[in-house]
Amino acid sequence: MKIEPCPLELLRQARTLYSQREVANLLDVNQSTLRRWQVNEDVPSYRVDSVRQRILPLLVAPANDDHVFTFIDLFAGIGGIRHGFEQHGGRCVFTSEWNPYAQKTYLANFPHEEGHLLVGDITKVDAEDVPAHDVLLAGFPCQPFSIAGVSKKNALGRPHGFECTTQGTLFYDVARIIAAKQPKAFLLENVKNLLSHDKGKTFATILAVLRDELGYDVHYKVIDGRRFVPQHRERILIVGLREPCGFSWEDLRLPEVGPKLSSILHPQDGTQAEESPYTTGAKATVAAKYTLTSNMWTYLQAYAEKHRAAGNGFGFGLVDGENVARTLSARYYKDGSEILVSQGPRKRPRRLTPRECARLMGFPADFKIPVSDTQAYKQFGNSVVVPVIEAVAKIIKPRVIELMARNQEQASLSLR
């Protein structure tokens, strides 16, 4: 005889993983109703089935597999967004990244798996060749959008809708895959300036495509990575759900106070093992090559002084372990000026090592860096703050599972 799981026990287990608000939203009840069920130890009979259908998938992975949902990773870089979603039970089934150096780092950390396809240029991929997936992830580059008149396009027999407004941009490739595959959710990441690009027209076009053309319930928020890592890094995150299902940014849990740079710097006291070529010797001292040359340090000081005299704020960012750094950029390999680590009075400062950059972006300690320093600086400067993505994935996951449950319910009804 089949034994059905107790709904109160399912609620208890769900509350160990999710907030009361998140569980209430998933069940389409208010928090006071959920609290009453738990206090009185009584779930109304007409809600028992929905509790089981919506909560059980949160707690149990599908049979013969260890993933809860699937996703694709577009403009993947070195896999920061993928890592965040894998931490919450996602399995990547398709990756697109055109840069061969980024591919090398990606494959070193996410070895090829059966059933997973990695392609280069997404603009050359037919959307129908992209596998089915529950969540689409994309850290797409921001490019200028050319917004032409739809009526003129119609008169000329040319594409309209998002094909008209976004053709020639990489966002178009995100949109066409969403249109073709209809994922249950998506997460798009970009620089904060996307909001103001072209006086707001670019972002307005993106929202119009996602909401009006593709029909998704869209939410966006700018998040500063300094809540998780010692770096001021503001990025916009855009979440879309195929159907409204209670998603709210209020469910996002951000630390009140973020860490200081001392948490990511090499201690240089022997408490960490030597990691060549970044550190050397018994105390794992930072290699001399990361200290600025006399010429470079003189140039940066003169450059900063010139701009100070002109009343500008341009210059280098000198920090120590008690500070929070400026934003790490892809140009860091050139002079390291935005984040220079003080080595004491009368000593020239140094750049961060690539390992410190990995920590600054929140990558795990065992993240492999198989490329040159120049390529590593570019890759980490273009990456996401991994703990931010993990936190966002946590609040997207229950919404995706709810939509999966709805699909299953609709499928079973259609068979009756």
The rounded distance, in Å, linking the Cα atoms of 321 and 359 is: 14
Strand 279-280 with 285-286, pairing: antiparallel
Contact 187, 237 (CB under 8 A): yes
Residue 175's φ and ψ, nearest 5 degrees, are -65, -40
Contact 392, 187 (CB under 8 A): yes
Tell how far CA 412 is from the center of its chain: 34
The rounded distance, in Å, linking the Cα atoms of 164 and 182 is: 20
> What is the chain's length?
416
Q: DSSP character for 351? A: P
Contact 232, 224 (CB under 8 A): yes
Q: Is 6 a catalytic residue?
A: no
The rounded distance, in Å, linking the Cα atoms of 132 and 135 is: 9
Neighbours of 66 (CB within 10 A): 8
Contact 379, 102 (CB under 8 A): yes
Which residues, other chains included, contact 358 with Cβ-Cβ below 8 Å and sequence gap of 6+?
367, 369, 380
Contact 193, 228 (CB under 8 A): no
The rounded distance, in Å, linking the Cα atoms of 1 and 253 is: 42
Tell the burial category of 405 from Cβ atoms under 10 Å away from its Cβ (0-12, 13-18, 19+): buried
Check 6, 142, 164, 357 and give the catalytic one: 142
Contact 360, 325 (CB under 8 A): yes
Q: Active-site positions?
A: 142
